[in-house]
Chains A and B, each alone.
Chain A
């Protein structure tokens, strides 16, 4: 069948000329539901084989060999005829299997082809598509040509002709054949060998035989060297290589290897008896005598060493410590940095300065509004809106403070807790004590130097654009506790100190040992003439509190404030109050500063080390649960009953007052025998040396009993147990002194700030009547001075002024480094001064006596002159004359100008 459909890809390629065949198929009666089977398997999807019975053939006029023949094997049948057949015969119609195809058939006439050879399995088949029909009826032109050609060629009849034999033409091949063929050269000979029959099959007997023993038993053809065939190699190709001669040799030796070996030995010693024996012997005694006494004795040698050390290098001892690369001629303080708070709208002044005890470069200032009392009252409404701050500045950022601690009102003094630098206690202008806990922000301020949080891009933008960019915004930290308003101070708190961590006091003022190891008590003094002691631990309630009271006291705190001191907030009462009274009639003393006898000094480098270890321990434990370890979180108060009292503790302290007095008093309270109340003792001593309020009372960092007091226009130095007066009292300065501080490294140096912005540096070893150096720092009054030994090479001095600026200056080498024996020199100076005072006191007594005597003499003389007459005057004159003569005599004799004998003879002559 020629390819009718281009989509046919039949592997069988039944494109053979079978189209000339006609078949008659028998239509099989199948069920209606069966799908018509097409010949898609064979590659002709349009062919549907059918079986047509003879009856059907008659109906449709496709009888085999009558209508459908070999010449015309197909028949076009009208669709309507088939449908009529369906109607008539229904299911038994032969076209029933392809009913669907016929129904779907687009055209009118369907091609029915007789399949004579049963090519598609049945005797007829139907072509289901118009295209197929067309292809069948009208095969494509091209192929038709080919078919025609093929038909043409195949029509030629082949006539058989018998082959005619020709003579063979030789082309030379028989020679090759002859060469290759194998022929017998000679005639073959045949032999016939016979033997008698009986010799066959006889038993065989083998025996050994030596072939050479019997002659001619064997024939051999011995080989011999034939000279014709010997070849002599005349030339030979040989390769040469020169190598050193190597000989392999082996020996066997004995291997020495290191071995550990030990020896144990003991010293030779004499036994006791032998020692005795030797000791008794005479040579020993002689030796000993020689050695101990005599010229070469040991004793002399020892004494020589005592007398003088011959190996001292005097030049070395003369020089001061070397290795300093600092210019030693520089004596001025150098400006290092300065800090001002630019954001506050009102003018502020700095009231107190304190360096952070552990972190380098961090300094805290408390600022207060710079208004007089009247102005404060007038502007009180506006002032309420102002936050009262303690600013923490860092050297790395002079514009923005690192932290801002907010308090209820202006803070006039504050202190870092010596045992935990994250706790700060401050005194307010309204008499409240404020506590801050900055533990939560501690890592922020610790990492300031590394510049955490700030980008390290090169800053090319101008400064005013940078400010909104900076990530560091100072955070306001609210206070976590304030003292009770009713029970605390009534007026401004002028000074606040932490008590040392070695002792604590109870309500009576008695001193006990402190088991906590941390500072847990404060002392404050205020303008309401009291000195109060406070305890930061929660006190056990003495009375059972009712539930209502508890409700009142529960106060909401903002969630970001640590609850370290929640137990104290607004209900904190002082532990003990000491009233400084002058007596019943006059006004009490108004203390401005106090100085306690503390056994630990917080600001020397030794103290720094302990603080460093403490802070490092805290930092290490911060990874864990901090609440368990930080002692300030778990304070237990009121343990005084279990603690051991310290007996020889000095409970006296110095107080400086507004009037310029320096009072030495005791804080222990005693029971008044009359009223039964607790009364404070009378002061031990009181001196008025200053003309204005005493603003500095400070113990020397080197000597615990030397106190510096500054007030008004002069300076005084006191020794603790010397009651007669100050060791040194300077004369009045031209300008008022407003603040002062000892130097922390040189025992003879202290700094005093003046009201005109000058700082006077006093050096007691140089001059004691006036300051040794005076330098201008700022234009206004200096309100605070605090030095800080930040490193061994650098010492910084913080100076706060009245306009709110904090200046940091660097102390030159000469002022910060003591000479080698400065401590002892200064101590010796103070001892001399004490002796001087004692001498003065003694002299005073003597002088008093003398004055008395002189007065008595005057009295006597006065009484004598009343009873004088003329004769008495003459007699008096004569007496005088005689007295004069006597005096002359004695004088001349003592001078040696007149001999005694001469004088006598003269009188005798008379």
Chain B
């Protein structure tokens, strides 16, 4: 647990970080650095997105699967690292 905290802190200290959210496969947030309403919103919306992306990849090629998901928008970038049981959602503002 302490290691987890430490790693999270390390990630948080990167330049331009806006938030980190940990969710399980059902979309229920486990840990978050943003406030509650934002967390809930992101968890819910990203959950659908991730599942859709996964199913898309598997349908195209059943042996393929997504390893990383990055959504670049005008204001920030949302990165998702998926796993069997959990997802890690990271929001960053990469502008110079």
Can you list 12 residue pairs at the A/B interface with Cβ under 8 Å?
A267-B28, A269-B28, A270-B29, A279-B31, A283-B84, A287-B84, A288-B7, A296-B67, A301-B90, A302-B11, A302-B90, A311-B72
Alpha-carbon distance between A305 and B95 when the two chains are bound, in angstroms: 9
B residues with a Cβ closer than 8 A to A are: 1, 3-4, 7, 10-11, 14-17, 24, 26-31, 40, 43-44, 67-68, 70, 72, 77, 79, 81, 83-86, 88, 90, 92, 94-96
A297 at the interface (CB under 8 A from B): yes
- Contact bitstring A393-416, B, C-beta under 8 A = 1, else 0: 000000000000000000000000
Check A298 against B79 for contact (C-beta < 8 Å): yes
Count of chain A residues with a beta carbon within 8 Å of a chain B beta carbon: 27
Residues of B within 8 A of A288 (CB): 3-4, 7, 88
Check B26 against A301 for contact (C-beta < 8 Å): no
Check B11 against A268 for contact (C-beta < 8 Å): no
Residues of A within 8 A of B88 (CB): 287-288, 291, 298
Check B68 against A301 for contact (C-beta < 8 Å): yes
Residues of A within 8 A of B4 (CB): 279, 284-285, 288
Residues of A within 8 A of B44 (CB): 267
Alpha-carbon distance between A291 and B80 when the two chains are bound, in angstroms: 10
Q: Which residue of A lies closest to B81 (CB)?
A: A291
Check A302 against B28 for contact (C-beta < 8 Å): no
Check A278 against B16 for contact (C-beta < 8 Å): no
Taking the closest CB of chain A, its distance from the CB of B38, in whole angstroms, is 12
Check A270 against B30 for contact (C-beta < 8 Å): yes
Taking the closest CB of chain A, its distance from the CB of B10, in whole angstroms, is 8
Check A306 against B14 for contact (C-beta < 8 Å): yes
Contact of B31 among A268, A275, A301 (CB under 8 A): A275
A546 at the interface (CB under 8 A from B): no
Residues of B within 8 A of A267 (CB): 28, 40, 43-44
Alpha-carbon distance between A549 and B30 when the two chains are bound, in angstroms: 86
Alpha-carbon distance between A309 and B16 when the two chains are bound, in angstroms: 13
Check A269 against B83 for contact (C-beta < 8 Å): no
Taking the closest CB of chain A, its distance from the CB of B51, in whole angstroms, is 16
Residues of B within 8 A of A269 (CB): 28-29, 40
Check A284 against B96 for contact (C-beta < 8 Å): no
A290 at the interface (CB under 8 A from B): yes
Alpha-carbon distance between A283 and B72 when the two chains are bound, in angstroms: 29
A299 at the interface (CB under 8 A from B): yes
Contact of B11 among A285, A290, A292, A296 (CB under 8 A): A292
Contact of B17 among A283, A285, A297, A302 (CB under 8 A): A302
Contact of B16 among A280, A291, A306, A311 (CB under 8 A): A306
Q: Which residue of B lies closest to A292 (CB)?
A: B7
Check A268 against B26 for contact (C-beta < 8 Å): yes
Whether A302 contacts B14 in the complex (CB less than 8 A), given A280-B1, A296-B81, comes out as yes
Taking the closest CB of chain A, its distance from the CB of B30, in whole angstroms, is 6
- Across the A-B interface, give the 7 residue pairs with the lowest CB-CB distance, nearest first: A305-B94, A291-B81, A287-B83, A302-B14, A292-B7, A287-B86, A267-B40
Additional A-B contact list (13), CB under 8 Å, known A269-B28, A287-B84 = A269-B29, A275-B31, A284-B85, A284-B86, A288-B4, A291-B88, A301-B68, A302-B14, A302-B79, A302-B92, A306-B14, A306-B15, A306-B16
Residues of A within 8 A of B68 (CB): 296, 301
Alpha-carbon distance between A301 and B77 when the two chains are bound, in angstroms: 10
A303 at the interface (CB under 8 A from B): yes
- Contact bitstring A309-352, B, C-beta under 8 A = 1, else 0: 10100000000000000000000000000000000000000000
Whether A268 contacts B7 in the complex (CB less than 8 A), given A280-B1, A305-B77, A309-B96, comes out as no
Alpha-carbon distance between A496 and B29 when the two chains are bound, in angstroms: 67
Q: Which of B3, B10, B83, B94 has the most CB of A within 10 A?
A: B94
Taking the closest CB of chain A, its distance from the CB of B73, in whole angstroms, is 10
Q: Which residue of A lies closest to B20 (CB)?
A: A298
Residues of A within 8 A of B14 (CB): 299, 302-303, 306
Alpha-carbon distance between A283 and B22 when the two chains are bound, in angstroms: 13
Alpha-carbon distance between A269 and B44 when the two chains are bound, in angstroms: 11
Check B83 against A290 for contact (C-beta < 8 Å): yes
Check A278 against B92 for contact (C-beta < 8 Å): no
Check B81 against A268 for contact (C-beta < 8 Å): no
- Contact bitstring A756-790, B, C-beta under 8 A = 1, else 0: 00000000000000000000000000000000000
Alpha-carbon distance between A303 and B1 when the two chains are bound, in angstroms: 25
Residues of A within 8 A of B85 (CB): 283-284, 287
Residues of A within 8 A of B3 (CB): 285, 288
Whether A301 contacts B79 in the complex (CB less than 8 A), given A267-B40, A278-B30, comes out as yes
Q: Which residue of A lies closest to B94 (CB)?
A: A305
Check B7 against A301 for contact (C-beta < 8 Å): no
Alpha-carbon distance between A305 and B43 when the two chains are bound, in angstroms: 23
Check A309 against B11 for contact (C-beta < 8 Å): no
Alpha-carbon distance between A255 and B4 when the two chains are bound, in angstroms: 60
Alpha-carbon distance between A83 and B38 when the two chains are bound, in angstroms: 140
Q: Which residue of B lies closest to A266 (CB)?
A: B40
Q: Which residue of A lies closest to B72 (CB)?
A: A311
Check A270 against B28 for contact (C-beta < 8 Å): yes
Taking the closest CB of chain A, its distance from the CB of B56, in whole angstroms, is 18
Residues of A within 8 A of B96 (CB): 309
Taking the closest CB of chain B, its distance from the CB of A308, in whole angstroms, is 10
Taking the closest CB of chain A, its distance from the CB of B29, in whole angstroms, is 7
Residues of A within 8 A of B40 (CB): 267, 269
Q: Which residue of B lies closest to A270 (CB)?
A: B28
Alpha-carbon distance between A298 and B16 when the two chains are bound, in angstroms: 14
Alpha-carbon distance between A290 and B40 when the two chains are bound, in angstroms: 24
Residues of B within 8 A of A278 (CB): 24, 30
Alpha-carbon distance between A292 and B1 when the two chains are bound, in angstroms: 14
Alpha-carbon distance between A306 and B31 when the two chains are bound, in angstroms: 25
Q: Which residue of B lies closest to A267 (CB)?
A: B40
Taking the closest CB of chain B, its distance from the CB of A555, in whole angstroms, is 66
Q: Which of B4, B44, B77 has the most CB of A within 10 A?
A: B4
Alpha-carbon distance between A270 and B39 when the two chains are bound, in angstroms: 13
Residues of B within 8 A of A285 (CB): 3-4
Q: Which of A275, A291, A311 has the most CB of B within 10 A?
A: A291
Check B79 against A291 for contact (C-beta < 8 Å): no
Alpha-carbon distance between A269 and B28 when the two chains are bound, in angstroms: 6
Check A298 against B90 for contact (C-beta < 8 Å): yes
Alpha-carbon distance between A404 and B95 when the two chains are bound, in angstroms: 56
Residues of A within 8 A of B28 (CB): 267-270
Alpha-carbon distance between A180 and B38 when the two chains are bound, in angstroms: 123
Q: Which residue of B lies closest to A295 (CB)?
A: B67
Q: Which residue of B lies closest to A281 (CB)?
A: B85
Residues of B within 8 A of A309 (CB): 94-96
Residues of B within 8 A of A284 (CB): 4, 85-86
Alpha-carbon distance between A716 and B43 when the two chains are bound, in angstroms: 63
Q: Which residue of B lies closest to A312 (CB)?
A: B96
Taking the closest CB of chain A, its distance from the CB of B39, in whole angstroms, is 9
Q: Which residue of B lies closest to A284 (CB)?
A: B86
Whether A298 contacts B94 in the complex (CB less than 8 A), given A270-B28, A275-B31, A284-B86, comes out as no
Residues of B within 8 A of A305 (CB): 16, 77, 92, 94
Taking the closest CB of chain A, its distance from the CB of B24, in whole angstroms, is 7
Taking the closest CB of chain B, its distance from the CB of A163, in whole angstroms, is 139
Alpha-carbon distance between A279 and B86 when the two chains are bound, in angstroms: 11
Contact of A279 among B1, B11, B72 (CB under 8 A): B1
Q: Tell me the residues in window 226-285 of chain A with beta carbons closer than 8 Å to chain B beta carbons.
A: 267-270, 275, 278-280, 283-285
Alpha-carbon distance between A309 and B96 when the two chains are bound, in angstroms: 8
Q: Which residue of A lies closest to B82 (CB)?
A: A291
Contact of A298 among B11, B26, B72 (CB under 8 A): B11
Q: Which residue of B lies closest to A291 (CB)?
A: B81
Alpha-carbon distance between A301 and B67 when the two chains are bound, in angstroms: 12
Residues of B within 8 A of A280 (CB): 1
- Contact bitstring A710-751, B, C-beta under 8 A = 1, else 0: 000000000000000000000000000000000000000000
Alpha-carbon distance between A290 and B95 when the two chains are bound, in angstroms: 27
Q: Which residue of B lies closest to A293 (CB)?
A: B7
Residues of A within 8 A of B30 (CB): 270, 275, 278-279
Check A298 against B15 for contact (C-beta < 8 Å): no
Whether A306 contacts B7 in the complex (CB less than 8 A), given A270-B28, A291-B83, comes out as no
Taking the closest CB of chain B, its distance from the CB of A465, in whole angstroms, is 65
